[in-house]
Structure 1
Amino acid sequence: MIKRSFYFLWSSQTLSNMVDVFYTVALITFVLDRTGSVVFATLVPFIRVIAQLLSGLLAPLMIAKYRLTFLLSFSQCGQFLLFALMAGYVSPWGGSNLYVLYGLILAISFLDGWTTPTRNALVSRLVTDQALMKANGMIATTDQIVLFAGWAVSGLMVAWLGYFPVLLLVAVGYGLAMAVTTLIEDPTEPKRGSFWDVRSASAAYVEKLAKEAGAEKTSVTPSRWDTLKEGWIALWRSPRLRSLTLIEMTDMIGGSVWAGAFLLVFVKEILMKDEAWWGYINASYFAGAVLGGLLVVAMANRLNRNIFGAMLLGMIGYAALTAWFALNTSAPLTLFIVLITGPFAELAAVSGRTLVQRSVDKDLLPKVLSAQATLSNTIFGLSLLFMSGIAELFGIVNMYLLAAVLTVLATVVGWMNRRAFRSGPDGVEQA
């Protein structure tokens, strides 16, 4: 069963993801036009990653204290106000100091760092366990549709309307997303007594115990350090979570190979085509990812019988197709390869996310997801540097082959830890 609040969450996140693409394209284009420097333009995504990394590290403190629905609303409200300021700054009457713009990007990205772990934690609260795979598939499908449509339309919108109107549109989009988010009711929390009832029930209960304890307050209230490390400890202590994290991080080392710069080099050097084919390949991959999401939704009941097996199947298929992609030199065949890569990638991603959500207590899940997001951002950033070096030293084909090998290695790691997936939710073998 899927509760009505899930659809509010789904629609608000879809809207905010869509306008986020518009914002990224508008900002990068603006910086390039003002400076003509690729380095200054690259600072836009770099600052975003750094801010989200810091936000992920501090997110457990907010999650322990406030309702998840409030954190989402607060994040979107803050971004709405900051985007309005940014739109004014890049308007014909605004300033031109890039450091101010980078400061706004830092603040927006810091608030956005709470969004993904909070959203994924809320999903498991708003649907029954049986419907979790289907709900994740629905979100994955719309995420890919938004990315595909957003990147296709955003450039045209910036060229047609200009930076100022597009960023105003982004601000309005976040305002609407915030309004929809306020309609979400978390069934694990008591109903809000008022609009300002933002504390989580568990935080209020701990505070009550601390007041009753008086002098023993410090022994009742967990320290900030304990709160920060709680999700990380859970990742290490649970055999299943530890296995899932190791699988994801091993695969993530090669996960940056689909970044635009690498793909463009492959198109020019191996396929001997121009930038237009870069766009065709991206479109084909997104189409395959959407198809994969739809297949996961349609087959959710069947996949629920063996989610771990579905995840490994997705990874093996993805690895094989990545290797085929690397060794292929036919441009039309490349479109077919990336099209069928999408379903395998979505199957692995949705299955892995569902397994994490089912492996943790709902109160601890947001902190675990924050820890995982922090690890993912770190590994992805390092992967960009590592894979750049591999491409430079050994060639773009060998870089893609290495990415395929890393995914196979991640699959082997999963298979070696399969006992953790035949046990209880915490990964402890049952009698």
Structure 2
Amino acid sequence: MFTKRYWLLFSGQSLANLGDVFYVVAVVSAVYVSTESAFYTGVVPILFVAAQTISGLMAPLLFRRVTLAGALIASQALKTVLLGLFALFLAYASALDQQLGTGKLILVFFFVFANAFLDGWATPARNALVPSLVPRDGLVRANGLMATSDQTLQFAGWAAGGLLVALLGYADVLWGTFFAYVVATIAVWPLGKRRGKQAVESGRNDTETMDNAPTGADQDKAPQSWTTGWRLIRNRRPLRLLVQMEVLEGLSGAVWMAAILLPYVHTVLGQGEEWWGYINAAYMLGSVAGGAVVLAVADRIRSRLLTAVLAGTLFSGMITLLFGVSSWTWSALVLSFALGPFYQLQQVAKQTMIQEESPADSLPLVLSAKGTLDSVTFGLSVLIMGGVADLAGVRAVYILAFALLGISAVVGMALRRNGQLSARAETK
């Protein structure tokens, strides 16, 4: 069903994602070992969010000037070069004194910021490329396969990354990540070649094939600008409602972060830190299983995208509520595992709907705008949920998350009630 070009994208991005996990584990380890400071270590994820937010805002300017494949290749190639320089720098610093002084630490943070900034191009470019590389009836399966790969590699990467850092040290793990980036760059490089007659492989005509067509105003389409994606989200009711759902769900997302889960494990379950690891592992395994289920029933989901979104959102909310009010340790594991499939179901279906509801030439601009909102929403979620936990207790956080997911489901119902879905999204 899928073309060679899709498999190149899939394999390259899978390897890059695995490298990204190892990179984060190694950097966090390097900063903590050198500074023994929780504050400096906490700066790393903040830099990731800030850099990807800025990158998402600037991505439309890039997409107007280069192809989607070109943006993806440039991102991966520059990240590879940057990581090679970073690995050399840390090896040099380690050989001298095993510590990172203030000046060296600032340089480390610069590398972290730059890498995350470049990564901000890759996600919208990847997700915008997928519809042009597969037949329309294979879009759910293609998105599901990408999502399953992401979750599987996240699970394996975090588990293996910590072990590798403990056994080999962060410097060797960074070098391993560098070589993974090199292979990932080689894998996606052919996507930059002109397709020519190969465009028909995906079952679409040339005007529908966007991976090598510039996405800017030089096309024979409506002029585009930096604000095009934002305006489409604002003016197209289906897109606006879908993004509103994403924002509401994003605001609830921090309940699964360490800052909330650890107090939950201690105060509600009465367990030690190891149960935090068990709960995370159960969720990741559930997400992998959920991705496999989505792939198995992709054809059914294809004709019921909105139903899948609503069902996934509602059940995610119910599971979140039960998780928060339960005090039984084993139920926490079961519920954490059960959350994974429903989260995957609604995410894959929603991603497909956004792809189909967006004009093909403006899809990367819509996704970059959405990515920026996702990053900002995540930061707000951490602040809001942390404040609620301090003021009202950790259980209240999960009740609030349930309420947000319930509101999200109500917003989704407006799509069906008002018949807002396009003919493409209703195709069976």
What are the residue-to-residue correspondences of 1:259-408 with 2, within 5 Å?
A: 259-408=257-406
Normalised by the length of structure 2, the TM-score is 0.90
- Equivalence for 2:90: 90
For 1:116, the equivalent position in structure 2 comes to: 123
Aligned residue type for 1:38: A
Tell me, what secondary structure is at the counterpart of 1:424? coil
Structure 2 vs 1, CA of residues 381 and 412 (structure 1 numbering), >3 Å: closer, same or farther? same
Q: CA deviation at 1:418?
A: 2.1
Counterpart of 1:35 in structure 2 is: 35
Is 2:63–2:216's contact at 8 Å kept on the other side of the alignment? no
Question: C-alpha separation between the residues in 1 aligned to 2:136 and 2:17?
Answer: 25
SS at structure 2 position matched to 1:131: helix
1:9 aligns with 2:9: yes
2:233 equivalent among 223, 230, 235? 235
Equivalent-residue separation in structure 1 for 2:312 and 2:169 (angstroms): 41
Superposed CA deviations along residues 219-274 of structure 1, whole A, max 9, x for unmatched, are: x996xxx6110110111111110110111111211111101221111111111111
Residue 77 of structure 1 aligns with which residue? 77
Kindly state the Cα deviation for residue 184 of structure 1 after the two structures are TM-superposed: 2.4
- 1:164 deviates by 1.2
Aligned partner of residue 114 in structure 1, secondary structure: helix
How far is 1:191 from its partner? 8.1
Shift of the 287–155 alpha-carbon distance from structure 1 to 2, 3 Å rule, reads: same
| Pairing of 1:189-208 with structure 2 (within 5 A) | 201-202=213-214, 206=218
Equivalent residue letter for 1:83: L
1:213 aligns to what? none
Equivalence map 1:148-187=2 (5 Å): 148-184=155-191
Aligned equivalents of 2:414, 2:190: Cα separation in 1 = 44
What are the Cα deviations for residues 359-385 of structure 1, in whole angstroms up to 9, with x where unaligned? 112211000000000011001101100
User: Within 5 Å, which residues of 2 pair with 1:201-220?
Assistant: 201-202=213-214, 206=218
Shift of 1:190: 8.0
1:187/1:141 CA distance change after superposition, 3 Å = farther
Offset at 1:425? 5.4
- Cα deviation, residue 203, structure 1: 6.3
Aligned to 1:409: 407
Q: What is the number of residues matched between the two proteins? A: 408
Secondary structure at the aligned position of 1:182 is classed as helix
Q: Residue 105 of structure 1 corresponds to which residue in structure 2?
A: 112
Q: Deviations over 1:262-314 (max 9, x none)?
A: 11111111111111111111111011111111101000111111100110000
CA shift digits 1:182-205 (9 cap, x unpaired): 12268887889xxxxxx9644698
Partner of 2:205: none
Write the distance in 1 (CA, Å) between the matches of 2:423 and 2:60: 22
Per-residue CA deviation, residues 2-29 of structure 1 (Å, 9 max, x unaligned), is 2211111111111111111111111111
Aligned residue for 2:154, secondary structure, equals helix
Q: Any gaps of 5 or more consecutive residues in structure 2?
A: 200-210
Q: Which residue of 1 aligns with 2:206?
A: none
